Amino acid sequence: MALTLRRGAATVRPESERAFAMPQTITKGYKALVAEAESLIETLSVEQAQALHGSDGVVFVDLRDPRELEREGRMPGAFHCPRGMLEFWIDPESPYAKPVFSQDKRFVFFCGGGWRSALAAQAAQEMGLKPVAHVAGGFSAWKKAGAPIDTASAEKKG
Provide the CATH number for the domain around residue 142.
3.40.250.10
Q: 79-134, pLDDT tens digit by residue?
A: 999 999 999 999 999 999 999 999 999 999 999 999 999 999 999 999 999 999 99
pLDDT at 156: 42
Residue 68: is its pLDDT beyond 50? yes
57 lies in a domain? yes
Whether residue 4 lies inside any domain: the answer is: no
20 found inside a domain: no
Report how far residue 50's alpha carbon sits from residue 40's, in angstroms, rounded to the nearest whole number: 22
pTM: 0.82
Q: Domains in the chain: how many in total? A: 1
The percentage of the chain sitting over the pLDDT mark of 90, rounded to a whole number, equals 80
Domain limits at 121?
Answer: 28-157
CA atoms 124, 110, 64, 40: torsion sign:
positive
Parallel, antiparallel or unpaired: strands 5-7 and 10-12: antiparallel
Query: CA geometry: angle at 109 spanning 108 and 113, to 5°?
Result: 130
